[in-house]
A and B are shown apart, each in its own frame.
Chain A
């Protein structure tokens, strides 16, 4: 049996028949099956966005942002949780930024290449995979109880910075490694010391990559719920935070609080808060993407 035959009497074009034709048909069909599977993820994203906006958009108003939480759903707002999120994230970044840069510089530029370094690197990779709730109980035992900070903003910031450090250190390391050797060698050839080279040339070159890593880590920390609930941030706050030793609550914890209530009105509040939280997360991701694109060519 011939595997091919002329199409429409044109001897120039061959077309498969029999088993080969079946295989080709299956292959052509597989494209659409696989495309459909890929689109499931995109469709879920679209559906979730639609559903949240549908449920929560009516709640978004200036009052929703400036009111304290309340047991009356229509009067409840995000004031204390937004302030709490900002209060806890600023020291988190303040701690994680210098520590991750210092660690990455040490590992990439100064550390002796020995077993200790291998162990440190392996540890970092594994720490990045540790579930956030483990950081939560660590923070509970270490900062809340042992250092007696209580469920305070400072304890939350220390816990969150521990959580994002492996991520930011690894991102900083990669950024430093991508600085071309010619930059480094040029500086050394002109008589700069190792430290001057790192400070004046390697670090500025790596800064976009480091910033991208930090911003992505903040977008992770801004949505973190479990670790902060473990250290005791699941509280009713009806005042403006003024000191790092205050109790606090954050936007995702407020979403959790509203989600587990049975009343429909609180479900709408949760959806409204989700819209604002997602807007913040997407903005951070967008900024990171823009920084990455802008400095890619250099």
Chain B
């Protein structure tokens, strides 16, 4: 952590923190050089938004099905398969985002003017990557909702879906929120998928069909070249890294706090 801070400090000696935080244009490699972090942050939250839009409903539906509907035997077969998606190296997902999603699916579907690098293909694979995070942690939270609550609701004549949606989901809400925060932290920190599939042109946009660059994507781009120590490029990755670290830390700590509260309630 010390390294991260000290290298960032040297960066901020060259570029004022005000410029870093207030400028909206990230253009470190060409003249006029400009270091405004917001384009990279916007790129990151572009993929966070679109991937969560897909992963949240599907992941939650899977969690509800596995916890409330599935036969225990079905759950024993399906859950490890979902969790296998979490063990796939992300460079593999990156390959699919570029070669399969963009070329074989998005272009035939949406027309050939879809840019080869676009945030939608990256978001789709990011959604696949975090699906097990959301499904598995939410399922654990729902499974630990006491049986009494369910049986009381059935006793009042509620159907299975009403019990699941109106009793179990609200009771497990803190665990569900925690799973979403962890998923966001993973998307924010993921590098290979966005670096390969989303492009390397920073834009302040939420459009899914635009080529963008995220914070991690920029760091990898500099890492691929051999930035010499002491140059501004080299220091800039530490400043971006620090921003990234702070953002993921906020989401991780929020998730820990929420899970802690939830434990007090039921144990």
Contact = CB atoms under 8 A, between A and B. Distances in A.
B131 interface: yes
A51 B98 CA distance: 13
Most buried by B among A41, A45, A225: A41
B196 A260 contact: yes
A76 to B, nearest CB: 16
Nearest to B77: A42
Interface string B71-88: 000000010111011011
Contact of A230 (B135, B157, B223, B256): B223
Interface stretch (A26-34, A89-97, A102-110, A194-202): A26-34
B229 interface: yes
A138 B4 CA distance: 7
A255 to B, nearest CB: 5
Contacts of A24: 159
Nearest to B228: A145
A31 B62 CA distance: 11
Interface string A223-240: 111100110101000000
Interface string A45-75: 1001001100000000000000000000000
Contacts of A138: 3-4
A278 B92 contact: yes
Given A33-B61, A37-B57, A141 B89 contact: no
Interface stretch (A124-132, A175-183, A184-192): A124-132
A153 B94 CA distance: 25
A45 B220 CA distance: 27
Interface bracket on A: 35 or more
Interface stretch (A5-13, A204-212, A269-277): A269-277
B94 A259 contact: yes
Given A27-B160, A41-B131, A229-B223, A134 B65 contact: no
Given A131-B244, A229-B223, A230-B223, A34 B65 contact: yes
A38 B78 contact: yes
Most buried by A among B70, B157, B192, B245: B192
Interface stretch (B20-28, B145-153, B247-255): B247-255
Contact of B95 (A220, A224, A259): A259
B166 to A, nearest CB: 12
B91 A23 contact: no
A52 B88 CA distance: 13
B50 interface: no
Interface residues of B, number: 66
A265 interface: no
A184 B159 CA distance: 49
A140 interface: yes
A229 B224 contact: yes
B122 interface: no
A1 interface: no
Contacts of A145: 229
B162 A133 contact: no
Contacts of A48: 92, 96, 100
A35 interface: yes
A140 B223 contact: yes
A77 interface: no
A225 B128 CA distance: 19
B91 A37 contact: no
B191 interface: yes
Contacts of B176: none
B216 A278 contact: no
A173 to B, nearest CB: 16
B237 interface: yes
A219 interface: yes
A42 B132 CA distance: 11
Contacts of A278: 88-89, 92
A35 B69 contact: yes
29 contacts: A27-B159, A27-B160, A27-B161, A27-B162, A38-B82, A41-B82, A45-B85, A48-B100, A125-B256, A129-B182, A129-B248, A129-B249, A130-B189, A130-B248, A130-B249, A131-B190, A131-B216, A131-B245, A133-B216, A141-B4, A145-B229, A146-B3, A220-B87, A255-B92, A259-B98, A260-B196, A270-B95, A285-B84, A289-B80
Interface of B: 3-4, 7, 57-58, 61-62, 64-66, 69-70, 78, 80-82, 84-85, 87-92, 94-96, 98-100, 128, 131-132, 135, 157, 159-162, 164, 182, 185, 188-192, 195-196, 216, 219-220, 223-224, 226, 229, 237-238, 241, 244-245, 248-249, 252-253, 256
Counting from the closest, the 7 A-B pairs by CB-CB distance are A223-B89, A131-B189, A37-B61, A27-B159, A226-B191, A34-B65, A27-B161
Interface of A: 20, 23-24, 26-27, 30-31, 33-35, 37-38, 40-42, 44-45, 48, 51-52, 122, 125-126, 129-134, 136-138, 140-142, 145-146, 219-220, 222-226, 229-230, 232, 234, 252, 255-256, 259-260, 267, 270-271, 274, 277-278, 281-282, 285, 289
